[in-house]
Structure 1
Amino acid sequence: MSSTTSVKYAQWNKLYLGGEWRSGTSSRTVTVRNPYNQEVLAEFPLASVEDIDQAYRKAQAAQQGWAEESAFTRAEVMERAASILAQRKDEIVRYLVEETGSSQLKASIEVDASIGDIKLAAEYAHKMTAVILPSAIPGKENRVYRTPVGVVGAITPWNWPFYLSIRVVAPALATGNAIVLKADSQTPITGGLLVADLFEQAGLPPGLLSVVVADLDEIGDAMVEHPVPRVISFTGSTAAGRHIAEVAARSLRKVALELGGNNVFIVLDDADVDQAVAAAAFGKYLHQGQICIATNRMIVHRKVYDEFVEKFMAATEKVKVGDPADPETVICPLINERQAKRIMGLIDESLKMGARLVLEGKLEGLLMYPYILADVTNDMPIAKNEIFGPVAAILPVDSEEEAVNIANESDYGLSGAVFTGDLERGIRVAQRIVTGMIHVNDQTVNVESNVPFGGEKASGIGRYCGEWGIEEFTTLKWISVQKEPRVYPFS
């Protein structure tokens, strides 16, 4: 490892295992860099399979006592965590800017969304209720209890690392579970270590939360195959999600999967083009498009197609690209060189297939200046794949029916948007799109703590947030009570 004098945040050199800050026991290390200037932010040993095993075992040992705590106690921890996070917002924003290449705007949205989810999780503690139901058998009472599943294993990604970890950790803990969180090795500070620090500061008892950072080549499927967790929560690519679901199925454990998206932005012939352009630019370029619910395919009716393309290009040319520390910057660096090369490949192949280059961007290191491709068809790579970069793909259509068909010609179904001058028409179109979430006269990037978040088809299984999120981390138990002797037909 390099000397600590070259590491900006040398204090982040340990993992949070079973309530203790200690070094991972792997012989491998991780070096965390600022994607904008490659400054070394942190460096530390990774977790081994043995560390993961210990984290799960300690979680199992601590969970029962936590489940038996008063709902008020669990809610108080959530409330303190939300309050502390609000006080530390500027600090967390700074880490997100430096570690993930987030703009100031995106980082601020991420922290605010996290505060909202933790506040709502405090209410979950009071929703672990029981109901009494009648019985057909004389003298019997049926009770149905909502209980925690026990231990949750969570694997979260690098693009919205703080929020996507909070989105799992807070409801899992609030409903009486323990959790082992594996943060992405590209963003371990914001994706895990800060989360552990926050809940430790809020008074969470030791053992209930562990944060590991590991090399997949070393640990393989240890997070999923371990016998302790009863639910595996994963946010990431569809390919990885399929693998995790297959591994989890061998031991019949539940999965909650939020996977990739190929999100449509439909502009109908009666849409307000100026409003549609403003929304499309936000949905496309926030966090340089590195969002699972970012706008991917812009499907525009030919009646307004030329106007939309022209105005969208004008709006794009005003978007500032550069240093994430500059509050005016919108498009910041991509997370790594592999992603940049993949996106450039999608562009090149689509141009060869006949897409029209309306605006030619460029790649400077990890900074990608935006590209706009028009006359795109659904079979082009830029339309078939999740872009995860500042590249707009605009597809012309001749009718509402064609727009719906093209939208549904995808393996994915996460988010979407429909722009129209007739709200009821927009709702009708939205209902026909096979997707977990869709927004009328708004863009595709929407997250609210009290509504269900999740996808259809290859975009995932299950829902996070709101009362629906409780379902992912709890189970039901039927207890019948025979209050008087039962008469049996034989004895």
Structure 2
Amino acid sequence: MDFTSLNKSFINGKWIEGKSQRTFDNQNPYDGSIIQTIRLATLEQLEESFLIAKEAQKHWAKITAEDKKDVLKKVIEFFESNRNSIVDIISRETGGSVVKANVEVDLTVGLVKEALNMPDELNKVKEVPAGIENRVNRVHKLPLGVITSISPFNFPMNLSMRTIAPAIALGNSVVHKPDSQTALAGGTIIAKAFEYAGLPKGVFNCILTDLEEIGDAMLESPHSQLISFTGSTPVGKHIGKIAGSMLKRVALELGGNNPFILLKDGNVDQAVDAAIFGKFIHQGQICMSINRFIIHQNHYDKFVEKFVERVKDIPCGDPTDPKTIVGPLINEEQADKAMKIIDDAKEAGVKIALEGKREGNLITPFVFIDVENDSELAQTELFSPIATIIKADSDEHAIELANDTPFGLSSAIFTEDLTEGGQIALSIESGMTHINDQTVNDHPTVPFGGAKESGMGRFGNPWIVEEFTMTKWVSIQKEYRKYPF
């Protein structure tokens, strides 16, 4: 299927042309070719979408669990039957390798499959003890209502569907805005999947627009009960302020400065294997990507030598070539930002072990060594194929360095002592720690989320069920109650 014609917003079950006078060219970040041109939706169209979603949700909430599951099963069928076309779009639109694109489709399908377990949660009623005679206390889970979803460019389909699929499975409706740079993978292909599945109109609405058109209206709508956002910490803080003033819930997955720690008793060869994947998958443009390699001094020279040799052989170039691992960054602005980080580090005298190069938006890997943990380089979320390697004097020093950041999303520890490693994992100030693995891990049945400035809330079943539903207490007095006055 050719998805490139899906350049309209999806509102109330219809494909609607944006009413703005402005358009956006969705470009291939590798060669600059235009994939599609989008006429942007206006503030008026967005506000209409929230009203439509509010009304549609009232009906959708009453649909049986089996009917909700039937819709989700057809969504899975759509993704699986169109897999090759979707992989091609993800590679062309995000600059991600074929490996990355296939991983993203697998993650997306996995999310929807797990969402099949959620509609039944709305039918579960828990009875809790009552302190009053002849009373029954029942606890219900109800849909929240309308959920606002805002997704990023890096894993657009996966990071959109981890909000959308549970939200809809739990009886909510959704107003979703993908990043315009990945409008297909993050938005309209998803809308097409729900259209194919027969989702009632208005339950899912996908808006193709930008901040110049709508400002903060995605956040400020009085008809939305929760804002789900994946992106930068500064934007997350802005969302938190608005949501707090309106007493809205938030699910925020924000930036990271993820440490990869090789302890004194860790296996260097295994660590290098994991390090290559965790740093360079999707050019390091993942919130969970390894940002700092913290290596015990006993292994430092050996790790640097082996890591650099491996990095030299990473294939870089056209992401649609199955052999490519490192493709382009998403746009010229991000490539400029990465090169400024590199230039600033060089100017500051940071030692470089591998010099990469830039061709358009493609930046081949750079490796900096002997990096100071308090340097600007180490404290910056790199979001690019730039590796920074830091020497630790001891295991205790490594943990101290790992925690010396305002972020706390993911982390990794390499050690042969799994018992001690488990204890050390609990001392790392992050929402997720992986022992003898790298930092980029996700699954629909784990509590995915960060600590400190890396976010609030948890994705994954059953944690997302609590986030996306309202708990309601209903008491039943079976016999007349006598009151003291």
Please tell me the TM-score bracket, short chain as reference: over 0.9
Look up the SS of the partner of 1:91 in the other structure. helix
Identify which of 174, 177, 180 aligns with 1:182. Answer: 177
Identify which of 275, 284, 287 aligns with 1:292. Answer: 287
Look up the SS of the partner of 2:72 in the other structure. helix
1:254 maps onto 2:249 in alignment: yes
Q: Would you say the 8 A contact 1:114–1:162 is kept in 2?
A: yes
Identify which of 230, 235, 257 aligns with 2:225. Answer: 230
1:283 matched residue in structure 2: 278
2:406 matched residue in structure 1: 411
The offset of 1:9, in angstroms, is: 6.2
Query: Letter of the aligned partner of 2:358 in structure 1?
Result: L
Counting only pairs closer than 5 Å after superposition, residues 375-454 of structure 1 correspond to structure 2 as: 375-454=370-449
1:27 matched residue in structure 2: 21
Identify which of 318, 323, 331 aligns with 1:323. Answer: 318
Q: 5+ unaligned residues in a row in structure 2: which ranges?
A: none
Give the Cα–Cα distance (whole angstroms) in 2 for the partners of residues 451 and 250 of structure 1.
30
Q: 5+ unaligned residues in a row in structure 1: which ranges?
A: 1-7
1:457 maps onto 2:457 in alignment: no
1:303 matched residue in structure 2: 298
Give the Cα–Cα distance (whole angstroms) in 1 for the partners of residues 285 and 376 of structure 2.
17
CA RMSD after TM alignment: 1.0
Give the Cα–Cα distance (whole angstroms) in 2 for the partners of residues 355 and 431 of structure 1.
32
2:41 matched residue in structure 1: 47
Say which is worse superposed, 420-429 or 187-196, in terms of deviation. Answer: 420-429
Give the Cα–Cα distance (whole angstroms) in 1 for the partners of residues 210 and 377 of structure 2.
30
1:60 matched residue in structure 2: 54
Q: Would you say the 8 A contact 2:97–2:322 is kept in 1?
A: yes
1:102 matched residue in structure 2: 96
1:206 matched residue in structure 2: 201
The offset of 1:381, in angstroms, is: 2.0
The offset of 1:348, in angstroms, is: 2.2
Identify which of 317, 328, 337 aligns with 2:332. Answer: 337
The offset of 1:425, in angstroms, is: 2.1
Look up the SS of the partner of 2:344 in the other structure. helix
Q: Would you say the 8 A contact 1:354–1:376 is kept in 2?
A: no
Give the Cα–Cα distance (whole angstroms) in 2 for the partners of residues 147 and 12 of structure 1.
34
2:151 matched residue in structure 1: 156
Look up the SS of the partner of 1:123 in the other structure. coil
Q: Would you say the 8 A contact 1:84–1:198 is kept in 2?
A: yes
Look up the SS of the partner of 1:233 in the other structure. strand
1:93 maps onto 2:102 in alignment: no
Query: Letter of the aligned partner of 1:220 in structure 2?
Result: G
Give the Cα–Cα distance (whole angstroms) in 2 for the partners of residues 353 and 437 of structure 1.
32
The offset of 1:171, in angstroms, is: 0.1
Give the Cα–Cα distance (whole angstroms) in 2 for the partners of residues 282 and 100 of structure 1.
18
Query: Letter of the aligned partner of 1:261 in structure 2?
Result: G
Identify which of 64, 74, 97 aligns with 2:68. Answer: 74
The offset of 1:64, in angstroms, is: 1.1
Look up the SS of the partner of 1:277 in the other structure. helix
Aligned length: 483
2:235 matched residue in structure 1: 240
Runs of 4+ in 1 over 3 A off after TM superposition: none
Query: Letter of the aligned partner of 1:105 in structure 2?
Result: V
Q: Would you say the 8 A contact 1:18–1:54 is kept in 2?
A: no
Look up the SS of the partner of 2:181 in the other structure. coil
Look up the SS of the partner of 1:438 in the other structure. strand
Q: Would you say the 8 A contact 2:6–2:189 is kept in 1?
A: no
Distance change >3 Å, CA 148–CA 9, structure 1 → 2: closer
1:138 maps onto 2:136 in alignment: no
